[in-house]
Chain A
């Protein structure tokens, strides 16, 4: 029983957490690709930046969370999302739109976004250095609540662990996905976004204001990136060098789900997240209860994991290749790259 609870904590909870983060990032990457037809390499930096916006707001108003009984980082999140969305639109106007207007090939804009990612990383390091920061050590009111849930079984002495930021993350993701679904299927602008993803020339011929659609894309992508960055940093720690470590799994998630498909990005995020936690999990622990029934000449190793934790970054890519061999356009039929 304890072994199963250990599995639940290490795989189900951890996989859902990282899967939610990947999903929120992948939605942004996939939407930017659907509308602007380029892979946005600076996306993970929008996450780091969004998390820093939240952190600065927490430092400036540390008491804010006390009014509603939630961590201050979560209370200031909407403001950080707005700031990041504005920043994303600014990036587009300064770097990507001038290139689009010149009708350059998409690969040129991809390279520009690599430049942008290095620039943002440099700026963040310039001001924040390389030290990690903890949201809860600057929060004036709340500490990080950890819920230890005891299951009503005799054999279950181990408890299920879940933290307040994790619960807030799940609630936020469910709300965000619901709102996004409503937006894409029920509103005029959301449908125009899908239309432009389908056929940009016809969208223009139909009189759809493509600039408004582009801004909306950056608002959604930037907002979700800020939320993912903040919620991840609240759960673990705010690292200035988050960027590349999270960018690659997010791209894997977007491609696995089907490029250009927001629902695919959510599925892809969880597939990649669970693949990571499942492959670094020590399966020997689940075998321990059967120790007595295993013949003596088989020696049970103390650790059976598919990949050592340090190498877990390879998991998304093995998975990516496997899924693309099986379904070349991803789980949800995506666009051809």
Chain B
């Protein structure tokens, strides 16, 4: 059974559809990457899946259960976590408090998880008591991902996790995403750095004008001359 099964999604802002029947299906141990030009509906697809936008047609299923238009706090309890592209941390809270807020829906002891996240991102361990707003861009992204991982999600949605980061941090974030995926977390992310992202993707979704243009394995898309020409900059 697929972990995430989004079929024929229509959604948009103020009556204008941006998604016109998009499909996205990934399995539990997979990394899915969404690429496409600006305005193709990449971020809109993530928001529609996470209940931040009303889906007017189509269904979203998480592990077989229908979650279409479910409120975000219920989705978090169902095991789906979302990292927005911008403003994805609580700047005046310390790094550790940010992680605690990720675990807000948990009532059990989650201290081992915090240590596990410091294991993923050793930079954060040193700065655990510092306000997250004082961190560098790359470290903030780590806080944002760490916060999302606190619910031990089965599916992690990432909106452009490497946007605006230096190459050093970009590679580090991609490495961490692979490591997180190896622990059994499904990942669906939107990426501008299409080549690097497809290189680590099990599945790639190329969107254009709110529709699926190409869907294949990451490797096959990288080697597809048409995709390369239109979407990977030659």
Contacts and interface: CB of A to CB of B under 8 A. Distances in A.
Partners in one complex: yes
Interface of A: 188, 191-192, 194-195, 197-199, 201-209
A206 B52 CA distance: 12
Contacts of A192: 101, 104
A202 B87 contact: yes
B129 to A, nearest CB: 12
Given A204-B72, A206-B102, 12 more contacts: A195-B90, A195-B97, A198-B92, A198-B93, A199-B87, A199-B91, A205-B50, A205-B52, A205-B76, A207-B73, A208-B104, A209-B73
Given A194-B92, A202-B84, A205-B50, A188 B73 contact: no
Given A191-B97, A201-B84, A207 B90 contact: no
B100 interface: yes
A221 B125 CA distance: 36
Contacts of A208: 73, 101, 104
Contact of A205 (B77, B84, B92): B84
A205 B90 contact: no
A284 to B, nearest CB: 47
Interface of B: 50, 52, 72-73, 76-77, 82, 84, 87-93, 97, 100-102, 104-105, 147, 151
A34 to B, nearest CB: 10
B167 to A, nearest CB: 27
Contacts of A194: 90, 92-93, 97
A335 B119 CA distance: 34
A206 to B, nearest CB: 5
Nearest to B97: A191
Contacts of A202: 84, 87-90
Contacts of B104: 188, 192, 206-209
A188 B101 CA distance: 8
Contacts of B87: 199, 201-202
Which 7 pairs from chain A and chain B are nearest by CB? A207-B76, A198-B90, A207-B105, A207-B73, A195-B90, A195-B101, A208-B104
- The listed residue with most A CB atoms (<10 A of its CB), out of B72, B90, B97, B105, is B90
Given A199-B87, A207-B76, A188 B82 contact: no
A198 B147 contact: no
Given A188-B100, A195-B101, A206 B93 contact: no
A199 B73 contact: no
Contact of A207 (B72, B88, B92): B72
Contacts of B50: 205
